[in-house]
């Protein structure tokens, strides 16, 4: 379903005008509406052909690349036609794509970068998360990091895997939100200290291997260069507007990632010598959220067994449960007073059941 939703978002970008909001609109209706209609799914399927459910993972980079190239094309003006996309589409369909693009307003562009940013975060970063946990597969790591370059997120494959999964729930973890910390303050704290942590981890790795800090062995530098490739593409396609759109969607995608970090661990604490268990992550088994996000929703199981592939994660119905599905919870987090009113009673329950 996720590749289909992503494709619909790309169509909206190419149609231009108010259609640029299409990706966000469809995503909101499908995920929020689907969670309400279809409820929970605590089943565990034994797939005979798991390679089939993994196909969408490997479709992420090409599909999202088309999304970014479409957004870059949309930043062109007049007769400019990046990669000849407009002319090609005009010859296939009875619709003037270039004329429609040239009438796109600033509010339409906001819809465009929000739609693409949601796709890069919800599809891209989520898939990259799965792939970069496969640390013994060079191809999976490269694929994941290429996807992360779309949101200028060079640090995630390092800090998340080797930092967050070790320090989760402790004061040493930038990605664990403190009680009473609002999501906007958390975004800046987690982004900054997560990036610093990734550099420290990478420097330590390079020193152990006797590698130079300034070299292609440095995964942070390689991540920066991958993102610079996208910056150049957007500049070539649309000059200042192109670069603005690229960074707008990248920052928005990064913000969505940090909101997800916020709601996955908000207020849950762990002693540094305490084993990581299901009680240290907020979980949900909402059916549609699980389908769209490749069971990232079963986050309690993911932290207990981070090497287990997404289709084998346990539902853990006894773990702390999010108040809603992922997208609904994400939106609620953005209104701090509302969020505290909903989550505080759940934290009180957690204190009774799990806290020492």
- Which residues are paired to 40 by β-bridges? 286
- Helix and strand tally (H, E) in the chain? 16, 0
The pair of structure tokens assigned to 157 is: 């494959």
pLDDT, tens digit, for every residue of 188-205?
999 999 999 999 999 999
Number of domains in the chain: 1
- Which residues are paired to 286 by β-bridges? 40
pLDDT at 355: 78
pLDDT at 170: 97
User: In 10 A of CB 45, how many CB atoms?
Assistant: 10
pLDDT at 46: 87
Structural domain harbouring 178: 2-353
One pLDDT digit (tens) per residue for the chain, 356 residues: 999 999 999 999 999 999 999 999 999 999 999 999 999 999 988 889 999 999 999 999 999 999 999 999 999 999 999 999 999 999 999 999 999 999 999 999 999 999 999 999 999 999 999 999 999 999 999 999 999 999 999 999 999 999 999 999 999 999 999 999 999 999 999 999 999 999 999 999 999 999 999 999 999 999 999 999 999 999 999 999 999 999 999 999 999 999 999 999 999 999 999 999 999 999 999 999 999 999 999 999 999 999 999 999 999 999 999 999 999 999 999 999 999 999 999 999 999 999 76
Burial category of 119 from C-beta neighbours within 10 Å (exposed 0-12, middle 13-18, buried 19 and up): buried
CA 267: distance to chain centroid?
A: 21
pLDDT at 45: 86
The pair of structure tokens assigned to 204 is: 């330590």
Radius of gyration of the chain (CA): 21
pLDDT, tens digit, for every residue of 143-162?
999 999 999 999 999 999 99
């Amino acid at each position: 379903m996720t590749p289909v939703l992503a494709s619909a978002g790309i169509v909206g970008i190419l149609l231009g005008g108010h259609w640029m909001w299409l990706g966000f609109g469809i995503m909101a209706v499908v995920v929020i509406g689907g969670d309400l209609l279809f409820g929970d799914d605590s089943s565990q399927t034994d797939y005979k052909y798991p390679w089939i459910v993994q196909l969408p993972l490997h479709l992420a980079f090409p599909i999202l690349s088309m999304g970014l190239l479409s957004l870059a094309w949309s930043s062109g003006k007049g007769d400019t036609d990046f990669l000849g996309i407009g002319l090609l589409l005009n010859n296939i369909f009875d619709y003037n794509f270039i004329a429609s693009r040239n009438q796109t307003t600033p509010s339409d562009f906001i819809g465009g970068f929000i739609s693409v940013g949601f796709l890069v975060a919800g599809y891209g970063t989520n898939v990259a998360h799965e792939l970069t946990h496969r640390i013994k597969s060079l191809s999976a790591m490269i694929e994941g990091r290429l996807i992360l370059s779309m949101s200028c997120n060079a640090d995630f494959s390092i800090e998340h895997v080797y930092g967050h999964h070790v320090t989760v729930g402790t004061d040493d973890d930038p990605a664990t939100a403190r009680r009473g910390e609002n999501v906007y303050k958390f975004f800046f704290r987690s982004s900054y200290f997560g990036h610093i942590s990734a550099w420290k981890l990478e420097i330590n790795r390079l020193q152990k291997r006797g590698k130079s800090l300034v070299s292609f062995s440095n995964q942070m530098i390689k991540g920066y260069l991958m993102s610079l490739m996208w910056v150049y593409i957007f500049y070539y396609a649309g000059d200042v507007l192109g670069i603005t759109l690229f960074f707008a969607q990248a920052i928005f995608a990064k913000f969505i990632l940090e909101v997800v970090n916020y709601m996955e661990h908000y207020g849950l604490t762990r002693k540094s010598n305490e084993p990581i268990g299901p009680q240290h992550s907020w979980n949900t088994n909402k059916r549609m959220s699980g389908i769209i996000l490749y069971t990232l929703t079963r986050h309690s199981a993911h932290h207990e067994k981070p090497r287990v592939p997404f289709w084998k994660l346990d539902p853990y119905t006894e773990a702390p449960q999010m108040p809603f599905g992922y997208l609904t919870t994400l939106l609620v987090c953005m209104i701090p007073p509302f969020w505290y009113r909903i989550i505080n009673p759940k934290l009180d329950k957690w204190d009774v059941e799990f806290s020492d």
